[in-house]
Structure 1
Amino acid sequence: MHAPDARWHGLLERPEVVVLLAERDGAAVGYVSAIRQLHLWTGGDVLDLDDLNVRPGHRDAGVGRRLTTALARLAAPEQLLIRWGTEVDDLDAQRSYRRLGATLRPKVLAAWPPAAYADLAADG
């Protein structure tokens, strides 16, 4: 995350933001973050998994699985869809997600930064 501390704390205080931390011997070894939001296509809310990260030296020890399991437990009472993306060439991540039972499908992600749409928006 590349946000100043004050902004970071403000983001974490938002009710739609979920961050779960994994610790070992009192030290953070991983986290999962997700954002609950309305998704019109599904007709309700979804949890968009924003980031799943396990520190080197703690990978392949079940930390990621425990974090995703904890996220699933939060989503289960309301049967929320959990969705996320990964890089096309990140085959290790894809294998992990398949083992969880996730469905993988290709999709192109588009991002429209303000500098790219500024002229269009100004023309009204």
Structure 2
Amino acid sequence: MSIIRKSDLKTVDGPEQYFTGKATITGQFQREEPSRVSGAIVHFEPGARTAWHTHPAGQTLIVTEGIGWTQIDGGPKYEFHAGDILWCPKDKRHWHGATAHDAMTHIAIQESVNGTPVMWMEKVTDEEYLAPVAKD
């Protein structure tokens, strides 16, 4: 068993090329082979979001705090809350982040395929980000 203590976790700013607004990434990890699992805790300040991206094996997001928005390209924009779990299907272009007025934190877990857990694309526009939320 191996434990990484909270006091030893490093926090870095989300790279500007992949995030709009202030996002921080804490405790990034990559399991040793043969596992393909990696992950991190990502915190988004209000208005912050990822760029469009895909995951070759999908991604699981466990929302621990706040309220966020997410969208698969061509689909409706959804709101989610602390305690929700999101499944981003493999190879589906999507984004996720905080709402315009609320911060949000999630644990992101994904697997690598051919050494790559994510394919980054262009940034989400303000028009896309501020589009109406779908009604459940």
When you count strand as a share of all residues, which structure comes out higher?
2
For the criterion TM > 0.5, the same-fold answer is: no
The normalised TM-score by structure 1 is 0.32
Q: Which has the higher contact order (CA 8 A, sep 6+)?
A: 2
Question: Higher helix share goes to which structure?
Answer: 1
What TM-score comes out, normalization by structure 2 length?
0.30
